[in-house]
Structure 1
Amino acid sequence: MPKSLYYIVLMALIFSCNSTEKAEKTTTIVDGRERYDVYQGSEMANLMRGMHAFNLQLKKEVESGKVTTEFPEEFLKIHTAEFSESKSRNETFDHYSGQFIEAQKLVFAEDSIVALSERYNSAINLCISCHQTECTGPIPKIKKLLIK
């Protein structure tokens, strides 16, 4: 191998090993014939998807007038869950997430004089308010959780 080609290969190897670019989180799924790269959401995105699914079920309970579930302690991870690389925790998020947790807990308070559907909608409206400041994409989906 010529000496100049050796140096080029060596430099290419060095630069490729020092790359600081992070790969997007994906999982490869193989169905026997094809490979699919499936996006894996951040810890926060997955938590919020879980919150949506829970509140969808909770909406049905509230509409029936009887809440049989309890406040999910898993929701408290909203204070520590990791965001995607393009997002970060800030004062606005901390403010709304704290208010959301308190409002969500009130849905389960049996001694409240505020109507159950009003307490539930209050929690959902806090989700919408927070998402209006950043990450507006899920707002239409969240609005469907509101009780009319």
Structure 2
Amino acid sequence: MIKHVSCIFLIVLFFSCNSSEKTEKKVTIVDGAERYDVYQGSEMAILMRGMHAFNLELKKEVQSGTITTEFPEEFLKIHTAEFSEAKSRNKTFDHYSGQFIEAQKLVFAEDSIVPLSERYNTAINLCITCHQTECTGPIPKIKKLLIK
């Protein structure tokens, strides 16, 4: 009996994970008699917000001269995270995201002769350069990550 339940669970899990159907992500908030549909970000948007938050903290560490964190492997999801329905992965994005990952890893390289703040700014400038090609909205927020 337990084998059958486990088998059915695995089949359902497999098909739910492989579903290619995209659903619009909205949350409905009720405030008294008013209903608001609130946009929920795509996997990519959520990942990039996380990257921003991480780099905001990393900026403080770079400015202090000591990094206590490591390269977050979560950033590698940039190669697979789903975009919103209005956007799609393209060669330009793939190019810049690959360069960003390499530059971000170099921030944590202890044996580099390039100054830490310069390596950090290189990674952030790659974000800006990529965003100049398509999704320009976050550029002012990203520019605040730069070390002057």
Q: Same fold (TM over 0.5)?
A: yes
Q: Secondary structure at the match of 1:104?
A: helix
Q: Secondary structure at the match of 1:95?
A: helix
Unaligned segments of structure 2, at least 5 residues:
1-21
Q: CA deviation at 1:25?
A: 1.8
1:58 aligns with 2:58: yes
TM-score normalised over the length of structure 1:
0.81
Q: Secondary structure at the match of 1:41?
A: coil
1:42-96 CA-partner distances (Å, limit 9, x unpaired): 0000000000000000000000000000000000000000000010000000000
1:118 aligns with 2:94: no
- Give distance in 2, aligned partners of 1:33 and 1:147: 47
Residue aligning to 1:38 = 38
- Give distance in 2, aligned partners of 1:36 and 1:108: 43
Q: CA RMSD in A?
A: 1.5
- Give distance in 1, aligned partners of 2:72 and 2:30: 34
Q: Secondary structure at the match of 1:118?
A: helix
Residue aligning to 1:48 = 48
Q: CA deviation at 1:30?
A: 3.8
- Give distance in 2, aligned partners of 1:85 and 1:43: 11
For residue 110 of structure 1, what is the amino acid of its counterpart?
Answer: E
- Give distance in 2, aligned partners of 1:56 and 1:35: 34
Q: Relative to structure 1, is the Cα distance of residues 24 and 61 closer, same or farther in structure 2, using a 3 angstrom cutoff?
A: same
Q: CA deviation at 1:140?
A: 0.4
Residue aligning to 2:130 = 130
Structure of higher CA gyration radius: 1
1:27-48 CA-partner distances (Å, limit 9, x unpaired): 1234676543221010000000
Unaligned segments of structure 1, at least 5 residues:
1-21
- Give distance in 2, aligned partners of 1:144 and 1:110: 25
- Give distance in 1, aligned partners of 2:55 and 2:120: 9
- Give distance in 1, aligned partners of 2:56 and 2:31: 31
- Give distance in 1, aligned partners of 2:30 and 2:109: 47
Q: CA deviation at 1:146?
A: 0.1
Residue aligning to 2:6 = none
- Give distance in 1, aligned partners of 2:32 and 2:57: 35
- Give distance in 2, aligned partners of 1:99 and 1:23: 31
TM-score normalised over the length of structure 2:
0.81
Count, aligned residues: 127
- Give distance in 1, aligned partners of 2:134 and 2:108: 28
